[in-house]
Every structure is written in structure tokens, then in C-alpha cells.
Amino acid sequence: MKAMSPGVVDFLFRQLVTGEPPEDVQWRREGTVLGEQQPGAELARRLAETDLESLTPVELFDYVRAAQRLGAWADRLRESAVARYCSPEMPSRPGRRSDASA
């Protein structure tokens, strides 16, 4: 089992002493929580800027789920672009010569 960072241990201890839940509920009041952020550039930025060592287990779970949503969103973008690239209506494709120039 991996040890928790000192910051997480300190946070959890303070939560235990004050009788609060073992997660940071203050950040829920400050904007969209990571678990509810829509996939896109803002979610990618937030994931990239998150210090994983400072997350509680609940927050880390939300982080993983958000990363999965972002990955699925990016896969859909890629699949849409590939479908458009491969469609017969696509005018000319890089690296391919047209019949007229052959």
C-alpha cells in the first residue's frame, strides 16, 4: 500500500479532529467540482495542474473519473476526424495525388 503525502495526512487529521467529512468540501463552493467539469480544454487544464500528492482518496477517485471522461471525449473527436478524413466527400488528402496529376 502506498503511503499518503504529509499534506493529505495533515488534512485528514484536521478533518477527524473537527468532526468533518474526510474530503475538502470548501472547494465545492468555489466553482465546478472536478467530477462535474465538462470534458474539454478547461478539464484538461485542471487535470494537468492538479497536484496528485495533495488529493484525498475521494478526490483522487474523482480525478481518475474526470481523466477517463476527457480521454473518451478526445477519442470521439479523433474518431469523428478520421471518419471525415476517410469519407468520399473529402476533397483532397495530404500525401495523395489526384487522378489528374498522375
Tell me the per-residue pLDDT of 55-102, one tens digit each, with 9 for 90 and over.
Answer: 888 888 989 999 999 999 999 999 999 999 998 887 765 665 555 554
Crossing angle for the helix pair 57-86 and 41-49, nearest 10 degrees? 140
Residues in the chain: 102
Structural domain that includes position 23 = 7-85
| Contact between residue 53 and residue 59 where contact means Cβ atoms under 8 Å apart | no
Q: Is 36 among the domain residues? A: yes
Return the closest-CA partner of residue 70 out of 92, 100, 37.
Answer: 37
Alpha carbons 91 and 15: distance in angstroms, whole number: 61
Q: What value, to the nearest 5°, has the Cα angle with vertex 63 and ends 36 and 24?
A: 80
Q: pTM value?
A: 0.60
- Total domains in the chain come to 1
Q: Is 20 among the domain residues? A: yes
Q: Is 35 among the domain residues? A: yes
Q: Is 53 among the domain residues? A: yes
| Confidence check: pLDDT of 27 > 90 | no
